[in-house]
């Protein structure tokens, strides 16, 4: 029997550390997924002429298979693993199957929690997911908890205090402070 553990982290670097710790604890790379917004790496890929779906990772394990791709409501993300396999295909093709909410719900996650996790990514966080046998699920839970994941209840409360109601895939990403596109001609 297998189980799934999904956690969200404040930033991509913390999620990368968790992925490394999972692999060091014996969780196979093909059982792990990561998805997040790490704009410096995405911008570097763009500067080097990479397109969506291009490998940007290097080395062994899951992190060697990172790809940059667009996800509805998030814009470009860095991702790897089983969670994004279907999402990547849908996003590149522009299909509804590219929905992060759909991918999270397909794992058995409650839709309202999927909205919180997707919003955390939109705000600069990252998701780490593990799908493994029961013995490795317990290992994954311990390792992921040690990485100090976001508390989805507190995150929802914080988002709602700002007027947020749900993750909206049609909402445009806020423009970065140094992005003057559309402002300067």
Give tens-digit pLDDT for 3-55. Answer: 999 999 999 999 999 999 999 999 999 999 999 986 554 454 444 444 444 33
pLDDT value at 65 more than 80 = no
In the chain, what is the straight-line distance between the N-terminal and C-terminal CA atoms, in Å?
Answer: 58
CA distance 127 to 52: 19
Q: How confident is the model at residue 93 (pLDDT cuts 50, 70, 90)?
A: very low
In 3-state terms, the chain is what percent helix, strand and coil (to 5)?
45, 20, 35
Q: Which of 35, 29, 40 is nearest to 67 (CA)?
A: 35
What mean pLDDT is predicted for residues 171-176? 56
Q: What is the pTM of this model?
A: 0.77
Residues 61/65/66/67 CA torsion (nearest 10 deg): -170
Give ∠ CA 73-170-113 in degrees, rounded to 5: 60
């Amino acid at each position: 029997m297998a189980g799934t553990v999904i956690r969200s982290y404040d930033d991509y670097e913390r999620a990368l550390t968790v992925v490394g710790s999972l692999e060091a604890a014996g969780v196979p790379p093909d059982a792990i997924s990561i998805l997040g917004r790490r704009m410096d790496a995405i911008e570097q890929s763009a500067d080097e002429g990479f397109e969506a779906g291009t490998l940007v990772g290097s080395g062994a394990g899951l992190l060697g298979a990172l790809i940059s791709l667009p996800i509805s409501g998030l814009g470009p993300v860095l991702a790897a693993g089983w969670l994004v396999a279907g999402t990547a295909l849908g996003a590149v093709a522009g299909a509804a199957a590219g929905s992060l909410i759909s991918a999270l719900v397909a794992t058995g996650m409650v839709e309202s929690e999927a909205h919180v996790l997707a919003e955390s990514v939109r705000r600069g966080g990252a998701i780490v997911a593990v799908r493994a046998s029961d013995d490795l699920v317990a290992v994954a839970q311990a390792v992921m908890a040690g990485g100090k994941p976001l508390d989805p209840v507190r995150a929802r409360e914080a988002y709602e205090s700002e007027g947020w109601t749900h993750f909206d895939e049609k909402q445009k990403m806020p423009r970065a402070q140094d992005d003057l596109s559309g402002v300067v001609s």
